[in-house]
Chains A and B, each alone.
Chain A
Amino acid sequence: MRRTDETLQIPELARQVVGLVAPEELPLFEPTCQAYFSSGRKARSGRRRLTELEFDGQEIIPLVTTAALGATIAVADFLASRFYETAFEESGGDAWIRRVVRRVLGFFRRSRRRPAMRSLPVPPSFSSQQLAEVREVAARTAAALDMPPEKAALIADTIVGRLTSSGPSSPDE
């Protein structure tokens, strides 16, 4: 996967997803997005531990906004990791260096306090397998944020559709 100069702004992509899947959530998209990018990983999950002073609301409302943001960022992480792997392969790096780099990247990805990426590197082309992987990552992330399967699939499809429409078409598409 080669890097191009093209990037997609993640908030913008997420907003498009929300506009398509749940337009009624658009009024709160901006504050949610701002909080999302300034919060740690745990806070971004939207599942808070009940503190001693809150109303004991037990139900979690599945929000398309957070699911879209989460899925988009997951896709960005995925694409970034693939890009670095490709870069190492092309530079002829040893396998052990690749492993070390992957672990270091994985550590930072898992870090709770790491701010989310705001932009998404768009490769020049996607193979159908890559698109399937991207879709899988997006759908899995959305489902993990309590989205029903059909909505998670819709979010994933929207993200993939936006990615493919922003860059050059893949040869086998």
Chain B
Amino acid sequence: MSEAGGRESLRPNPFVLGADTWYRFGLLVAAVIGVSPLLTAPRGYLYVPGALESRNDEQACLQRLLREMPDMTGRSPEDRFDTMSRHVLETCAPHVSIGMGVYTIAMIAAVLVLALAIYWWLPRRLVRRRRLTALPPPQTLPDVHREIQELQRLTGVGDVGFLLDPLDRRVTGLAFGRVGRRRVVLSHGLVRTATTDPERFRAVMLHELAHIRNGDIDPTYLTIAVWRAWLILVLAPAFLNVIINQMGGVFWRLVVTALLVRMVRDATLRSREHYADARAAQWSTTELLHRALGDGGRPLPRRFARRWGWGWGTHPESASRRSALADPGWVTSIGFGDGLALGTTTVYSLSSLTLIAGWLLADPPGTAVHLLPFTALLSCALTFGIFRVVLAARLTGRRVNLDRLGIGLGTGFVLGTFITPRFGLLPSDVPISGAEGMPSMPAYLWLAWAGLMVAGGVLSVRWITELLATWLPYAASRRSPLRMVLGCTVVTTAVLTIWLAFGVGLPSLANMAAHMIFPDAPQELVFLGVLIIAPVLEPLSTMTLVVLLWAAPLAATMKWVRAGPARAWVSLPPPPDGTRLSAPPAAPARAVSAALIAVSYVAVRSLIAYPLILLGAVLLQPPRAFAGFLALSGGFAGIGAQILAVVLALTLTRSLRLPHAMLAATLAYLPATVAATLALSLASCATTCQSPLAQMRITVSRLFYLPGLALSLLVAALLIVAVPRWRRPGGDRPAPRPARSWRRQGHYR
């Protein structure tokens, strides 16, 4: 078992799970596909017969409905909601436009077909435009050919054609070509260096051969092709349409959209260079590449670029490449820009898919189903990227902090909602638009929602980091981490789908509730109420989410998950035999304690509330007023208990805090909810409910009263016993115990 001292010589292997050029390319394709329907729809309404009329009819119906809302004074909120929903469905059934759906899908297919054509045409164009010729034969350039053959043997990259760019005086090369016909172009300047500076020649050639070895040529050229096809078929006509129709509000959205897609494209092209450098450094030394990169570029380190992951331009600067050579963690780092692109693409694409589903299906599925393909992609990008970061951090002993990625992700969710041109290009068939129909939410509520989404992004990234960190030792002992990471991707997909479906739909739901169900209530209160009540309305989703949040990471610390010595792929060079990676220590007992404290709070609160309810019911007239107040507070008791459990668990644990907090919330959920429901029943039916069912609930409540009291006392006793042990100095664990599954020892940390 190796000691910490050996850690310094180990470097993270950036090729774990392969270079991420393909994932970034996938993101670009998703962005293009996601954005295109909204941008091509206005033209579709002009070309598809009947689509415009049908859309206008539906829009007019919705507006008429809002104007002629029936008088529902005195009705309960539930009645209002039912009436409105029925009224909307009966009066303004959503129109199905197969033609629009087919048109949109055809446009996406056209973009992809054109992209393929451009991909096919690019190598030929390159050869013709640069007047490339075959490299003269070995008789003419014996030194160059000898060197190339040696490098091909070293790298194992065969079956490559070498071309000459005779007029290019720079010391540069270029790998390109279609599938099965790879080519490397050598500039005239590079060929000259084969005799004058052979080391430099080797460095550049190794870099170009590394592109072929990494398999990044196809995604690179496809990236360029997709971008150009999208520019020609989607973006340019959309801009033209906006300018002709003078849609100022849409113009800036289009600009932001174009910049974001461009950013994704640039990130794809930049990442391949870093990976090629890393591969070349594996074959030779980093000093060689340093020499080849020259002394230009900005001073190191570029803190801003590194921290925030921003970057414009298709080619990384020499400075950043030199930094990546010195620190392989740079290659695998992901930052704000990545998160922003991922978040924006997901939400933007959701909007598009919803639109297409509305056109094609009479009864389209819910938001979660629309989200699923995009959250799967998002989860894949996040888990693969974060896994590399976690592994690199474990090897180098650094602390993982991906909050910037989380901020970017959350900001992307917000930005994706705002920049969809749907609100400008299409009629306002969504209540949050504010353009037509209902007024939009006030700005400060939008801001509050944005804050929630950013917090959600940060928490999501933190949780994924913890999930992968706990499973890392297990993955490190397997031949490949792929299965484990894919498993985490599935869990992450479920988690992100559930909370994003809620988060993205929150403004719409709150606005609808404020205008159609609670028109007289303050909008802030309605927003807050929807925020709290919405998870309760979907109990299965909420429970699934909460259970996954703690079960997935803590499962890795169970005994049955046996992690062996780390395999060779973990680092460069391979780790010494017997090396084990450690998982963050888990303390589920503390989460249980936190939950018990929270439950006891609810129980004690119920004990106090029960006599007050009875007293109020007897003394006050009418009795429902006081009972109603208690009922309301009792309804929030379950939520309060969970919040208390979360806070306590966060305070008591020092690692895996989020999973512990969620475990505590789950444990607090059931008893607290039971108690709260009973309190609610008592309060609302103490004096007025005469039905046999209500009487039975009251009886049951009374039956639970004494056991509740006993439970509270038991919890209090447990607390008295346990608290002194928690306060004992000397680390996270109260006392030394035999090593358990979640307390593996003798590891790197």
| Interface set of A (CB-CB < 8 Å, partner B) | 24-25, 27-28, 31-32, 34-36, 38-39, 43-44, 46-48, 50-63, 65-66, 146
Contact = CB atoms under 8 A, between A and B. Distances in A.
A58 B171 CA distance: 7
B745 interface: no
28 contacts: A31-B164, A32-B188, A39-B167, A43-B131, A47-B169, A48-B170, A51-B174, A52-B269, A53-B224, A53-B314, A54-B172, A54-B174, A54-B315, A55-B292, A56-B172, A56-B315, A56-B318, A57-B170, A57-B171, A57-B204, A58-B170, A58-B294, A59-B170, A59-B171, A61-B171, A61-B188, A62-B169, A66-B169
B314 A52 contact: yes
Nearest to B191: A28
Interface stretch (B96-104, B133-141, B585-593, B723-731): B133-141
B45 to A, nearest CB: 36
Interface in B383-410: none
A61 B314 CA distance: 24
B296 interface: yes
B645 to A, nearest CB: 52
A53 B169 contact: no
Nearest to B172: A57
Nearest to A60: B169
Contacts of A35: 131, 133, 166-167
Given A31-B133, A53-B269, A44 B141 contact: no
B170 to A, nearest CB: 5
A24 B172 CA distance: 20
Across the A-B interface, give the 10 residue pairs with the lowest CB-CB distance, nearest first. Answer: A52-B314, A61-B189, A57-B172, A46-B169, A32-B166, A35-B131, A57-B171, A35-B166, A58-B294, A27-B140
Nearest to B133: A31
Interface in B219-275: 220, 224, 269, 273
A31 B193 CA distance: 18
Contact of A63 (B133, B189, B195): B189
Contacts of B220: 53
A55 B195 contact: no
Contact of B208 (A27, A39, A55, A60): A55
B188 A63 contact: yes
B172 A28 contact: no
B480 to A, nearest CB: 30
- Looking at A28, A39, A62, A66, the one whose CB has the most chain B CB atoms below 10 A away is A28
B318 A48 contact: no
Given A27-B141, A35-B167, A52-B314, 20 more contacts: A28-B164, A31-B166, A32-B166, A32-B188, A34-B131, A38-B131, A46-B168, A46-B188, A52-B315, A53-B176, A53-B220, A55-B174, A55-B207, A56-B273, A57-B189, A58-B294, A59-B170, A60-B169, A62-B169, A63-B192
Nearest to B204: A55
Interface string B319-351: 001000000000000000000000000000000
Contacts of A25: 192
- Grouping DSSP codes into helix (H, G, I), strand (E, B) and loop, the B interface class, with mixed when no group exceeds half, is mixed
A28 to B, nearest CB: 6
Contacts of A59: 170-171, 189, 294
Interface string B170-186: 11111110000000000
Interface string B607-647: 00000000000000000000000000000000000000000
Contact of A61 (B133, B169, B173, B208): B169
A47 B170 CA distance: 7
A119 B443 CA distance: 74
B170 A28 contact: no
A48 B170 CA distance: 8
B150 to A, nearest CB: 19
Given A31-B164, A39-B167, A43-B167, A55 B133 contact: no
A57 B133 CA distance: 21
Nearest to B132: A35
Nearest to A44: B167
Contacts of B191: 28
B30 interface: no
B227 to A, nearest CB: 10
A36 B224 CA distance: 28
B318 A58 contact: yes
- Looking at A24, A52, A54, A62, the one whose CB has the most chain B CB atoms below 10 A away is A54
Contacts of B115: none
A131 to B, nearest CB: 29
A52 B224 contact: yes
A36 B188 contact: no
Nearest to A25: B192
B224 A58 contact: no
Contacts of A50: 315
B41 interface: no
Contact of B167 (A32, A52, A58, A146): A32
B169 A146 contact: yes
A63 B169 CA distance: 7
B174 to A, nearest CB: 5
Nearest to B224: A52
B160 to A, nearest CB: 15
Contacts of B208: 55
B207 to A, nearest CB: 5
A44 B168 CA distance: 9
B164 A55 contact: no
